[in-house]
Amino acid sequence: MAFTPLPLVDDFLANYHVGHALLVLFALSIVGTIPLGSRKIVSINSLLFGLLFLVTPVSELGGDPFTYRFIGIALLVVAPILYTTARE
């Protein structure tokens, strides 16, 4: 019988939830858009992730969902300011 690493992956991922995944995706997307040199793209990205943090159900965000809600609210406040101050 062939070895499948699925139990190892499952044991690793069991400690994380959707809130962690959204936070990692947000960080990776910001790192990916910085080389483009456009603050408008970074602000649109932040705005969309702010909406994702607010729209995601509380049951999916893990033990402390209000932390992710506050991150979403902060992103929704900061992103339009960043968009209006961008030059290009």
Amino acid at 58: V
Inside any domain, residue 27: yes
What is the number of structural domains in the chain? 1
Inside any domain, residue 42: yes
Q: How far apart are CA 82 and CA 41, in angstroms?
A: 10
Rounded to two decimals, the pTM is 0.79
Q: How far apart are CA 69 and CA 19, in angstroms?
A: 10
Which residue range forms the structural domain that includes residue 31?
A: 13-85
Inside any domain, residue 6: no
Q: How far apart are CA 59 and CA 78, in angstroms?
A: 26
Q: Is the dihedral of CA 62, 65, 70, 73 positive or negative?
A: positive
Inside any domain, residue 3: no
Residue 88 pLDDT > 70: no
* Average pLDDT for the chain: 87
Inside any domain, residue 7: no
